[in-house]
Chains A and B, each alone.
Chain A
């Protein structure tokens, strides 16, 4: 299953942003989102499309089902500079999107 993400975003702190992830076939709601900062391991933000991982700020939210999914950050903060990946675990093999690099202006 190919997951397609827009490659990059540049936004100002305080804005509301959405990062999209489109799957080449249905993944039900088995879509998860990760944040990865340079030189670090990814960390889980959202699981099962819309569930906020413990300890993750409520500024992050997820939605979607089937083939279209969205990660929303509202409001964006400077610390959110990172690459964001979607991942599906409905179809074998589990796959990741190419990542969306978020830069703060």
Chain B
């Protein structure tokens, strides 16, 4: 069955960076789109961007340009998101999700990883 397993919770200092991982199984990763999303209680869920695992092509929400960088490793069927120059505004739960082709809904989600930004 389809599984998306995200790395564990992160505690990072302001100004630092973090790389989150999302290891997948149960589907053909190399022809899949993978998205990352941010959830902060109250303001709801934000889509950060997607990456096409086949060629590494990306599409970002303009709000997260310069903040997030999406990459993949096809050999391990793993998606990554690098977040740079973290501030308190970046503290959130981050999800990876498989993105269904052109219709773009998220049919499978990772369990989420909490990122805390604190000195």
Interface residues, chain A, with chain B CB atoms under 8 Å away: 30, 32, 34, 40-44, 47-48, 53, 85, 87, 89, 92-99
Contact = CB atoms under 8 A, between A and B. Distances in A.
A93 B47 contact: yes
Given A41-B109, A41-B110, A96 B104 contact: no
Give the size range of B's interface with the partner. Answer: 20 to 34
A91 B17 CA distance: 30
Q: Is the interface of B mostly helix, strand, loop or mixed?
A: strand
Contacts, number: 53
A30, A43, A93, A99 — which one has the most chain B CB atoms within 10 A of its CB? A93
B105 interface: yes
B45 interface: yes
A87 B103 CA distance: 12
B109 A93 contact: no
Nearest 5 A/B pairs, CB to CB: A89-B104, A93-B61, A41-B109, A32-B105, A96-B45
